[in-house]
Every structure is written in structure tokens, then in C-alpha cells.
Amino acid sequence: MSVTVGLTETAVTLQARPELVVQQLLNGLSIGAVYALIAIGLTLVFGIMDVINFAHGEFVMLGGYALFWLITLFSVPFFPAMVVGVVLVGGFAVVVERSVFRPLYDRPLLAPMMASFGLLLVVQNGVSYLWGGRPRSIPDPFGNAVLSVEGFTVSYLRLFTVVVTALMYLGLWAFLQYSVTGKAIRATAQNEEAALIRGIDTDRVNTVTFVLSGVFGAVGGVLYGTLFPVFPTMGLYPMLKAFAAIIIGGLGSVPGALVGGLLIGVIEAVGIVLVENGSQWRDAFAFLLLVVVLLVRPRGLLGGWDR
């Protein structure tokens, strides 16, 4: 009976408020784009380096903080601050890869996993000690301007988020397909021993991959920080959604991470208006989708790279 009532209420919502559902669909694409960026960073490290990086959310958090402090302390305009913040986090990723993960590549999977968890705690507590736990807000670079089309409105900030994600994805695709380093990354992902035999510097490949992962996390953090407050543990929830996204899309699949992130964002946003008290279930929608996908397609929607 409760299921029937729930389906009836959903049908009524679709009939009475279709414009609200479409509006939420647009909003869901923007937050889903952020999840996708973070998920792509995670799947790069897993697909190439066989590392599950629990500290990936700290790249997200540091990206948000870098943008905030560059704008508030140094009065750097938003777009230059975004670029500088991402570069700073990319530099931090180089240090982390060489000092924390490189010595552990020949160890069992558990070793780098636990190292990443330790790094998560160190970075979170360090940021809390330096700047406190108070949430901080980043001003909208577009001044809260919105685009209205046929009665639907979407903020320029959310449009910017989707455009940046699309450009980042296309840039990564072109880099992996056509650059010498990108081809080396793909070769290492497919067969690391064969890549070594052919003279590919796999240590350099790992460093570049980890930096790319950090950059995608930082860009995700910059965009997430413009939509939500910045605080020391801000990277946790988007990172969990990103983990769900890469499993939904298929482990090791960059296109799968993109699709998984977008799906989670849309399901969250639309579910809020279709389900009674949907806002209370927002975080559960992603993992419900994860369970459904695993039941139907255990390898994920798009499988994975041949490795």
C-alpha cells in the first residue's frame, strides 16, 4: 500500500510541477558535474596506479580554501585565483606523490590505502588548526546573475560549472589520446611491465597521473566551494559521492566516472522534489542508485579500461 501511495504522489508531482522537476534537473547537472570532476581524479589514480586515495577529498578542500584565501586576503580576482589555486594544489600533489605514495608502490594495496587515510587526517587537522572550523563563503563571480529561458532559470555560476567540467573532460581526452605523455599513461594502465620494457618512465607517469588527479580534485573543490561553504571536512561528502560514481560508471573508466557523477547529481536533485521529505534522503539517493546498478550490471555502466 505504501509503495502504491508513493508512486501516486510521484505521478501527481510530475503532473502538477513538471517545471520544478526540469528546474531541479538543471541544478542536478551542475552539482553532478562537480561530482564527475572529483570522480575522474579518483579513477585516474586507481586506473593507472592501483591506488585507492582516501585523501582525494583533501585536494577538493584545499582547492576551495586556496580560492577563498586568494580572493579575501590577496584580493585576487576570481578567475586568476581559480587558476593559481589549482596550480598550488597540483604542486602539493607532486609532493604527496613523491613523499607518501612512491615508496609504497611495490607494497600490497592496503599500504598506500592506509597511507592515504593517514594523510587525510593530517591535512584535515592541519587546516582546522590553522584556520579553524568555521564555514567560509566564496562570493559568486557572476554576481548571482541568472539565465532565463521559457520560464526556467539557471545561474551563470551553475552553467560555468558544467562548461568547465566539459572542457576539463575534453582536454583530458585529447591529452590521453594525442600527447606522448598521455599515450605513455594509457600504455602503463594497460600493462605496466610491458611499458617498462618499452622504456617508458613509469615513475614519471605516476607523478603526472597523480598531479592530474589533484588538479581535477582542486577544480572540483573550487566549483564546489562556490556552491557550498568551505570548511575543513568539506571534501568528505563529495568524495563519497565520487567513489559511488566511479563504481556506478565502472572502475577505471574515465567516461564512466563522468556518467556516474552526472547521474548522481541528477538523481539527488530530482529525487528531492519527487520523494516526500526528499531533502532528508538526498545523500541516500546516490547509494541507492549504486545498489541498483550493481544488481543489474556488477561491472558498472561502462565497464573499465583494459589493463
pLDDT tens, residue by residue, 36-77: 999 999 999 998 888 999 999 999 999 999 999 999 999 999
Residues 203 and 102: beta-carbon distance below 8 Å = yes
Tell me if residue 147 falls in helix, strand or coil: strand
Chain centroid to CA 23: 22
Chain centroid to CA 214: 10
Rounded percentage of the chain residues whose pLDDT exceeds 70: 93
Distances in Å between the alpha carbon of 249 and those of 201, 205, 257, 289? 29, 24, 5, 11
- Domain boundaries defined on the chain: 28-296
Say what the pLDDT of residue 4 is. 40
Q: How far apart (Å, rounded) are the C-alpha atoms in residues 80 and 166?
A: 20
Concatenated DSSP letters for 183-200?
Answer: HHHHHHHH-HHHHHHTT-
Say what the pLDDT of residue 17 is. 64
The pLDDT of 173-186, averaged and rounded, is 96
The pLDDT of 296-305, averaged and rounded, is 80
Question: Which set of grid coordinates corresponds to residue 148?
Answer: 532565463
Question: Which set of grid coordinates corresponds to residue 56?
Answer: 582525494
Question: Which set of grid coordinates corresponds to residue 290?
Answer: 549504486
Distances in Å between the alpha carbon of 11 and those of 14, 273, 282? 5, 11, 20
Q: Look up the CATH number of domain 28-296.
A: 1.10.3470
Say what the pLDDT of residue 260 is. 97
Tell me if residue 12 falls in helix, strand or coil: helix
What average pLDDT does the structure give for the chain? 90
What pLDDT, in 10s, does the model give residues 100-124? Answer: 999 998 888 899 999 999 999 999 9
Rounded percentage of the chain residues whose pLDDT exceeds 90: 75
Residue type, 285: F
* Overall pTM > 0.85: yes
